Structures are given as C-alpha cells and as structure tokens.
A and B are shown apart, each in its own frame.
Chain A
Amino acid sequence: QQQVKQSPQSLIVQKGGISIINCAYENTAFDYFPWYQQFPGKGPALLIAIRPDVSEKKEGRFTISFNKSAKQFSLHIMDSQPGDSATYFCAARGYSSASKIIFGSGTRLSIRP
C-alpha cells in the first residue's frame, strides 16, 4: 500500500513530441506528489509537484495531471527536447508530519533529435 508504481521503465520520443510518464498509488493518505528529474551522474532535482485538490498543474512545458478517483498522476512534457533526456521519478508523501516520501522506480527518457 506504500508503493508508487511508475511506467514505462524507459521511453523514446522524437524531438518536438509529447512525453508521458504515468504513476499510480494505493495509499489514499498521500497528499503531495512531486516529480524529480535526474541527469546521469547527478542527484535528482525537484521538477514540479501537485496536491490532490487540483487536477492539473503546469510549469512551462511540464504538466502534471492528477486523477484522484483513479489514484493516478502523470507527467507530460510538451515539445520534448534533447535536453529533457534524463531519468524521471514520481513520488508521493502522506500528510502526517511523520510521513516519508515514497519514490517510483523511475523512467529513463530519451529524446531523439
């Protein structure tokens, strides 16, 4: 119940296309859903995050869509660029101050020029 399931494991998208990464969770106590971007040999960086009181959050070319009833959320990267090639992790955290963040298994995204 603590898991966050992420798919696909890897993804190849043409430059200019839309990259879509999906995550699903079971624990209804989760109330914060961040996405992290990690380049090879570097630590992850917080990219964008959403709370379940909204269905969508957009920052530039990055959009999180959130479906509370289905317990699913996804990251959309519009107009994907070669510089977006990285590993992306979804995550979730409960509202309790004692809750720890749970990471998905990651998606390796490659953008073909």
Chain B
Amino acid sequence: DGGITQSPKYLFRKEGQNVTLSCEQNLNHDAMYWYRQDPGQGLRLIYYSQIVNDFQKGDIAEGYSVSREKKESFPLTVTSAQKNPTAFYLCASSGRDSSNQPQHFGDGTRLSIL
C-alpha cells in the first residue's frame, strides 16, 4: 500500500537536545511538507520541498531544519533553538499536478519535553 510513514509515533526531548523526526513516502510524490499542529489551531507550515535537494521555509521555520537528499525522505530536525517544541508534527506529500496542496498525510509524531 502506498502512503506516508512517520516515525516514531511518540518522541521525548531533553533540554538542549536536537531530535529528528522521520518521514518516508512511497507514493512517488515530488513535493513534501512538514506541519505543526497545536490544540485549537490549524496546521502551520514549517518547511516544504518541491524537489530533491531543494526546500523552502514555511511560516514557522525558526528552530527547525530539514534535508531532502532522496525523493522518498524528508526528515525534520527539531533543534534546541525551538523553545516550545511540544506539538503534533505531520508530514505530507503531493504529486506534481497538485502544487502546494498536501494530498496525503502521515499519522504524525507527538513530541513532548522531558
């Protein structure tokens, strides 16, 4: 079955620690996205990538970093500079004819502070 796999499902971060969230897709989609979801708020775009080796900042990129070395993979690193990282993180992808509209979402990673 094609889809997006996010791991881990739950993640805990210690003070001053960087953590990396994994996102893999087997849909052959060009574009991939990272969103942050907080209670009572809509999804906010962190980073997106429309093609391998290229990515752009979204609305709330500070304290986060990404890479896009392979079409299938778009890992997100939450750095120690992100002072309020507790949230539900969602990865999404879209095909070439669905520009900037996430079509498929993973089931998310819930990040908490220890």
Other-chain residue from B40, B41, B45, B105 in contact with A44 (beta carbon distance below 8 A): B105
What is the size category of the interface that chain B forms with chain A?
Answer: 20 to 34
Please provide the chain B residues from 55 to 114 with a CB less than 8 Å away from any CB of chain A in the complex: 58-59, 90-92, 99-103, 105-108
A104: chain B residues within 8 A (beta carbon): 42
The chain A residue with its CB closest to the CB of B106 is A43
Which of A57-65, A66-74, A76-84, A95-103 interfaces with chain B?
A95-103
The reply to whether the CB of A9 lies closer than 8 angstroms to some CB of chain B is yes
The reply to whether the CB of A89 lies closer than 8 angstroms to some CB of chain B is yes
In the complex, what distance in Å separates the CA atom of A106 from the CA atom of B106? 18
B108, A89: Cβ atoms closer than 8 Å? no
Binding site for A on B (CB under 8 A): 4, 6, 40-45, 48, 58-59, 90-92, 99-103, 105-108
Other-chain residue from A4, A42, A100, A103 in contact with B107 (beta carbon distance below 8 A): A42
In the complex, what distance in Å separates the CA atom of A109 from the CA atom of B101? 24
A98: chain B residues within 8 A (beta carbon): 100
B40, A105: Cβ atoms closer than 8 Å? yes
B106, A100: Cβ atoms closer than 8 Å? no
Besides A44-B43, A98-B100, A103-B43, 4 new A-B residue pairs in contact (Cβ under 8 A), listed by A number: A43-B6, A43-B91, A103-B44, A105-B41
B45: chain A residues within 8 A (beta carbon): 100-101
Query: In the complex, what's the smallest C-beta–C-beta distance from B106 to chain A, in angstroms?
Result: 5
In the complex, what distance in Å separates the CA atom of A89 from the CA atom of B102? 13
A89, B100: Cβ atoms closer than 8 Å? no
B41, A97: Cβ atoms closer than 8 Å? no
Please provide the chain A residues from 29 to 55 with a CB less than 8 Å away from any CB of chain B in the complex: 32, 34, 41-46
B40, A100: Cβ atoms closer than 8 Å? no
Query: In the complex, what's the smallest C-beta–C-beta distance from B18 to chain A, in angstroms?
Result: 24
